[in-house]
Amino acid sequence: MVATTAYQAPVTWDAPSKPQSFGWVSLPVQSLVESGLRLDASVYATEAQKAKQLVNQCKYGVILLAELTNECAYPGRFKRTYVSKQYGEKFFLPSQLNELAPTATKFLAVKNIKELDALRIKENTLLITRSGTIGNCTIASKTLIGGIFSDDVIRLLPKQPHNLGYIYIYLKSSSGRAILQSSNYGAVIQHIEPAHLLDIPIPDAPALRKTHIHQSVTESFQLRDESNALIEQAHAKLQAALKLPAVEELNPPANGDNGLRCFSVNVADLNRRLEANYHNPLAQAITQHLHQHAAQVLTLGDKRITQKIILAGRFKRVYVDEQQGIPFLGGKEILELDPRGEKYLSLKHHGERIAEQLTLDENMILITCSGTIGKVNIVPRHWQGWAGSQHILRAVPASAEWAGYLYAWLSSEWALPLIRRHTYGAVVFEIDQYQLAEVPVPLLADVALMHEINSLVLRANELRYTAFTKEQDALRLFNQDVLGLPSTAID
């Protein structure tokens, strides 16, 4: 027998019309030795190398960050026992580090924690996240001093007071951030250690220049604290006027076996919603209290207080360089002073959608509607013209006379259960514009007090804009005078 095989045509393919681009950099062996024989590509990333070259060419010369630092460490790991609010102390997550006024969602039992003082944030400390999203940094302002953060936050104490703001601005700059993030390690969760942080180069600017930068940064954080204090005043006045007790007092106790909460609902009140969350007794108790103590209770969708509520449609995003687009914010960032990241939305591809649905306007109220429901912020002046994702609902106040008051109510702890009761979805939670429009808004009998609350919030929002400009002034001074960058290259 003769063996035969079927004829197969040669395999052919179309060569790509353009080779795929990738970043690369050549290095001397000495660089490997100096980096501790690190072989991960991120350490030698092109952007990091460019940043190091720029810093090394600084006219003031370069030193290591360790030379400006007294202490740089993080506390040891500890077992966390979470308890209810009335029995524990506020515990903040590293992801909240850049928030203007972080609200604790977890409360820590501190009785058995031996080194509790090491966990508390102290004055004149620079805080840097070291795990997950590394390199986020802030200064311990009045809002954070005494608060408890985990071991995922590095605490850095400078040798001289003027070094604090100077180091902060360096790590906030594009160059400092690129160098810092090139030191990370880890396959799934990225990490950085104090030794890596202390080993990065920093321009050795004159003490007077460092002082000028530090003063601008200090003023920025003082304005943030003043802003937070004004909003706290607005919340306190609103609470007093409505005679609102703490949320825990309004929440009915568990009445079923094993601590379960059982309740009945009238068929007439179902509103076509069968989820237990929608008929939450806490939401019912808050609503009942508002009707008893407010002069009138409207809904957020009432045209007397809100022009419209916008939910942007889903779309495929086209990101571009900063020069060709506008900042694009997600729901995760809206509680920050400067939430700009690396995402800039293309004006060419999304110009019409940006104009109709995505643009942020001053005093617009933002509410996250996907994932973590109910984060609330009021748009400051420096966000004007930026774009927000479809995961953020936009409530447009009827006028500036309503903007501050609506924010004061919607950002309060009593409004949150009224927003979240509408949540639907199994894996990713959602609410839409029609559900948000049903959220109750209490009006006060004292109209002058409503105007006062509104004014407090609007003043706070203006202070946040000024705080942003102060920080940008410090960044501009660092980039232009210290690094020698042209004005077109400023952050």
Is 35 or 125 the better-scoring residue by pLDDT?
125
Same domain, 286 and 148: no
Same domain, 92 and 148: yes
pLDDT for the residue numbered 1: 39
Cβ(397)–Cβ(304) under 8 Å? no
Alpha-carbon distance of 52 to 35, in angstroms, equals 13
Q: List, for residues 346-377, the tens digit of each pLDDT value.
A: 998 999 999 999 999 999 999 999 989 999 99
Cβ(55)–Cβ(175) under 8 Å? yes
Domain-located, residue 23 = no
Count of domains for the chain:
2
Going by C-alpha positions, the residue among 333, 153, 123 that lies closest to residue 222 is 123
Alpha-carbon distance of 138 to 124, in angstroms, equals 11
Same domain, 188 and 279: no
Q: Please give the residue range of the domain that contains residue 304.
A: 242-446
pLDDT for the residue numbered 36: 64
Cβ(303)–Cβ(398) under 8 Å? yes
Q: What percent of the chain has pLDDT over 70?
A: 88
Same domain, 318 and 395: yes
Same domain, 253 and 185: no
Domain-located, residue 21 = no
Place of tokens 């969708």: 301
Alpha-carbon distance of 422 to 470, in angstroms, equals 40
Same domain, 130 and 57: yes
Residue 109 contacts by C-beta under 8 Å, 6 or more apart in sequence?
A: 81, 82, 83, 87, 88
pLDDT grade for 237, boundaries at 50, 70 and 90: very high
Same domain, 264 and 353: yes
Average confidence (pLDDT) over 127-143: 90
Same domain, 248 and 388: yes
DSSP state of 188: S
Listed range (23-27, 75-79, 193-197, 484-488) with the worst mean pLDDT: 23-27
Same domain, 199 and 254: no
pLDDT for the residue numbered 13: 42
Q: Is the pLDDT of residue 27 over 70?
A: no
pTM for the structure as a whole? 0.87
- Burial annotation 458-471 (CB, 10 A radius, 16+ → b, else e): bbbbbbbbbbbbbb
Same domain, 386 and 319: yes
Identity at 357, one-letter amino acid code: Q
Same domain, 264 and 376: yes
Domain-located, residue 24 = no
Using CB atoms within 10 A of its CB, is residue 104 exposed (0-12), middle (13-18) or buried (19+)? middle
- Last-in-domain residue among 141, 175, 204: 204
Domain-located, residue 267 = yes
Which neighbouring-strand residues pair with 158?
69
pLDDT for the residue numbered 42: 58
pLDDT for the residue numbered 335: 95
Listed range (199-213, 268-282, 384-398) with the worst mean pLDDT: 268-282
pLDDT grade for 419, boundaries at 50, 70 and 90: very high
Q: List, for residues 277-296, the tens digit of each pLDDT value.
A: 888 889 999 999 999 999 99
Same domain, 176 and 270: no
- CATH number for the domain that contains residue 427: 3.90.220.20
Q: Is the pLDDT of residue 262 over 90?
A: no
Give me the count of residues in the chain: 491
